[in-house]
Amino acid sequence: MKDVWKHYNLARIGWLQRHGSIYFPFWNMVFKYPPLLAFNAVLMLKSNLTNSCIVHVIGDSHVVPFTYRFPYLIHHISQATAYNLGKEKSFTRSSEYLKLFLSKINKKRDVVMLVFGEIDARVHIYLQYGKSGRTLSIDTLVDATVETYGEVIKRIKEDGFAVCVHGIPPAASKEFITALPFSGKPRERSEISRKFNQKLKERCESLRVPYIDIQSIASDDSGFIKKYYLADEVHCNSKIVPFTSSVIKEAFGKEKRF
């Protein structure tokens, strides 16, 4: 029965992907997917007629600011982490979905933008720090996460894709109430996010992969996300899109048609 359900889900995601995918729970698919499907159909028609570039945004819930925005096509992998993105048979099956999405992308025409890591910085890095009895340093855990994420980025580039990486948003100043045994204070999460973005930027530079440094525009003087860019407690709003678009066009404008 488990295998049947697995193949059903893969088939469902495959169908969505072929038609301009976004992966949502069933109730969101019912209410949100039909208009998005129509938008994506127009986007793909325009791209096919003009040979213009589509930017495929693959990531966790932080892909949402790019919904209904030309030339962005969204591929949402719920609750995926940067650390497990290359891991086979992870809880979110993010590696399977990533491979499926990439298999349908036009390498010559399009750009892939990866949006992962905020969940790692907000939750998992400090959680592992606490579970280790603070014997593993935050720096060590950030380095390990960026290293595994970097291997995925490197592999995608070596497979011939034009790939760029979107940095994670600065931490929110809100104090979260959570059942997790180790969750960190706002100041600690802010420092983790800052370190994560810095290490990720360095890794992308070493790979010669364009990096969208959202921290540089969305962070206030205290290292927290500016209210201007805040959609909710942890997500950026669509005001980050013009900055992202300018970086992508500068990086790929000579080889891609936007």
The pLDDT value recorded for residue 243 is 98
- Distance between CA atoms of 9 and 11, rounded to whole angstroms? 5
Q: Please measure the distance between the N-terminal and C-terminal CA atoms of the chain and give it in whole angstroms.
A: 46
Residue 25 confidence (pLDDT) = 47
Domains: count for the chain: 1
Does residue 258 form part of some domain?
A: no
pTM above 0.75, yes or no: yes
The pLDDT score that the predictor gives to residue 72 is 97
Whether residue 178 is contained in a domain is answered as yes
Domain assignment present for residue 55? The answer is yes
Residue 173 is predicted with a pLDDT of 86
What CA–CA distance (Å, rounded) separates 187 from 255?
41
Measured CA distances, 139 to 62, 116, 191 (Å): 24, 18, 10
Examine residue 114 and state whether it is found in any structural domain, yes or no.
yes
Can you state the angle between helices 138-158 and 186-207, rounded to 10 degrees?
Answer: 30
Say what the pLDDT of residue 14 is: 47
Along the 258 residues of the chain, how does pLDDT read in single tens digits? 445 445 445 555 444 444 444 444 444 545 566 788 889 889 999 999 999 999 999 999 899 999 999 999 999 888 899 999 999 888 888 999 899 999 999 999 999 999 999 999 999 999 999 999 999 999 999 999 999 999 999 999 999 999 999 999 999 887 765 655 557 888 999 999 999 999 999 999 999 999 999 999 999 999 999 999 999 878 999 999 999 999 999 999 999 999
Range of the domain at 240: 2-252
| Cβ atoms of residues 219 and 225 within 8 Å | yes
CATH code at 32? 3.40.50.1110
Is the CB of residue 132 less than 8 Å from the CB of residue 88? Answer: no
Q: What are phi and psi of 162, to 5 degrees?
A: -80, 105
User: Does some domain include residue 257?
Assistant: no
For the chain, give the number of residues.
258
Report if residue 208 sits inside a domain: yes
198 belongs to a structural domain: yes
CA 31 → CA 34, 35, 235, distances in Å?
Answer: 7, 8, 21
**Nearest-angstrom CA–CA distance, 150 and 28:** 31
Q: Which two tokens stand for residue 257?
A: 């048609």
Coil vs helix vs strand at 166: strand
Return the pLDDT at 226. 95
In a domain, 204, yes or no: yes
Looking at residue 79, what is its pLDDT? 85
